[in-house]
């Protein structure tokens, strides 16, 4: 269980460090899968293996029961890649896609700049030349659509067309000179300096639109929940789904950190009402992460007297052993 993150099972059944098995609890919106084990690969058999198996089954059962409590007791909000869902005691309050309509077309234009960066660093040769030619052709096609009546002109907001056209034209010019072998290092730097303000402004505008929509809808979720029970917000549990590269400043993470006054800190160590999971794409597995947190926090309170102790590596106590093996710099 990755980095002993699965808490009680990882603490008590050393050796479950793999992806979830395909053995699952009864189908539902919240998965409680039986975790695999690598005990056999390490020569563990007999009674010790049986003890580990009993722990894994008990942990699965506890997670399945916690899945049920999510639907019975709490206000649960899930924010996953621009999609917002909220349930109060299992009842659906909201299920919305808040990604701005302009997000993907503007992102695709910015990807042209990223494409140029990748091609500039690619090894020289016929393969690179072909890719550069294909990129120039693709940019020409987008420019033709933006200037005319093609799909791009309809997908990109009218007020954004000058900025996006400017980025495309500068990128096309830089790629053309690169293909001809006349783009110097200084000119390459100037190209990126020239397009950078437009890229940043496009991102800022999309972020503002998304964040304002998220704030509006979360306030509406709270209103609906409190109309059913004035204390509903006290039970809120928020799951934010991210990918590893985006976790540090994922917009939803920042928003809910501020809304709940719950700074994330490192990893899952401070995840009480706000839980972040990386790279979990199935809805049932995402909700399963919330159930996992509830189970691990309860077990951690029993074993360690600290409900958050199993929210970080069970071998990762600060100081002590690490300082003895590799003293910190003075």
pLDDT in tens, 132-159: 999 999 999 999 998 877 888 889 988 9
Distance CA 185, CA 195 (A): 16
Last residue of a domain, one of 158, 191, 207: 207
Whether the per-residue pLDDT at 228 is higher than 90: the answer is yes
**Residue 318 lies inside a defined structural domain of this protein:** yes
Q: Are residues 187 and 110 in the same domain?
A: yes
pTM of the model: 0.76
**Residue 189 lies inside a defined structural domain of this protein:** yes
**Residue 115 lies inside a defined structural domain of this protein:** yes
Whether the per-residue pLDDT at 284 is higher than 50: the answer is yes
287: domain range? 2-74+281-325
Last residue of a domain, one of 186, 207, 228: 207
Place 193 in a pLDDT band, splitting at 50, 70 and 90: very high
**Residue 233 lies inside a defined structural domain of this protein:** no
**Residue 116 lies inside a defined structural domain of this protein:** yes
The residues, any chain, with a CB within 8 Å of residue 263's CB and separated by 6 or more, are 257, 270
Whether the per-residue pLDDT at 237 is higher than 70: the answer is yes
Q: Are residues 45 and 116 in the same domain?
A: no
Q: What is the mean pLDDT of residues 289-317?
A: 77
Residue 30: its pLDDT value, please? 86
Q: What is the mean pLDDT of residues 187-209?
A: 93
Place 245 in a pLDDT band, splitting at 50, 70 and 90: low
Q: Are residues 138 and 201 in the same domain?
A: yes
Last residue of a domain, one of 207, 238, 263: 207
Least confident of 1-15, 189-203, 296-310: 1-15
How many other C-beta atoms are found inside a 10 Å radius of the C-beta of residue 152?
22
Using the structure block, give the residue that is written with the tokens 């409900």: 307
Q: Are residues 107 and 176 in the same domain?
A: yes
Residue 68: its pLDDT value, please? 82
Q: Domains in the chain: how many in total?
A: 2
């Amino acid at each position: 269980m990755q980095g002993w993150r699965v808490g009680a099972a990882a603490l008590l059944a050393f050796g479950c460090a793999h992806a979830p098995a395909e053995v699952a609890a009864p189908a539902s919106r919240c998965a409680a899968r039986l975790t695999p084990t690598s005990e056999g690969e390490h020569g563990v058999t007999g009674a010790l293996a049986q003890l580990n198996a009993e722990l894994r089954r008990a942990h699965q059962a506890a997670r399945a029961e916690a899945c049920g409590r999510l639907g019975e007791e709490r206000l649960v909000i899930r924010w996953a890649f621009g999609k917002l869902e909220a349930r109060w005691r299992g009842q659906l309050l909201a299920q919305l896609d808040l990604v701005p309509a302009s997000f993907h077309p503007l992102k695709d234009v910015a990807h042209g700049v990223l494409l140029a960066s990748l091609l500039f660093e690619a090894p020289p040769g016929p393969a690179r030349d072909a890719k550069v030619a294909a990129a120039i052709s693709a940019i020409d096609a987008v420019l033709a659509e933006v200037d005319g009546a093609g799909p791009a002109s309809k997908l990109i907001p009218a007020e954004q067309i000058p900025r996006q056209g400017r980025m495309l034209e500068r990128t096309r010019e830089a790629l053309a000179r690169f293909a001809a072998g006349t783009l110097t290092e200084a000119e390459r730097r100037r190209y990126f300096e020239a397009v950078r303000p437009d890229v940043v402004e496009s991102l800022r505008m999309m972020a503002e639109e998304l964040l304002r929509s998220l704030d509006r809808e979360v306030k509406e979720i709270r209103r609906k929940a409190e109309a059913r029970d004035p204390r509903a917000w006290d039970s809120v549990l928020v799951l934010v789904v991210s990918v590893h590269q985006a976790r540090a400043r994922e917009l939803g993470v920042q928003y809910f950190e501020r809304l709940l006054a719950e700074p994330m800190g490192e990893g899952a160590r401070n995840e009480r009402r706000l839980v972040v999971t990386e790279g979990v794409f199935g809805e049932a597995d995402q909700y399963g992460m919330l159930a996992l947190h509830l189970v691990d926090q309860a077990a951690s309170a029993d074993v360690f007297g600290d409900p958050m102790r199993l929210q970080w590596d069970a071998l990762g106590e600060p100081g002590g052993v690490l300082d003895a093996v590799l003293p910190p710099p003075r």
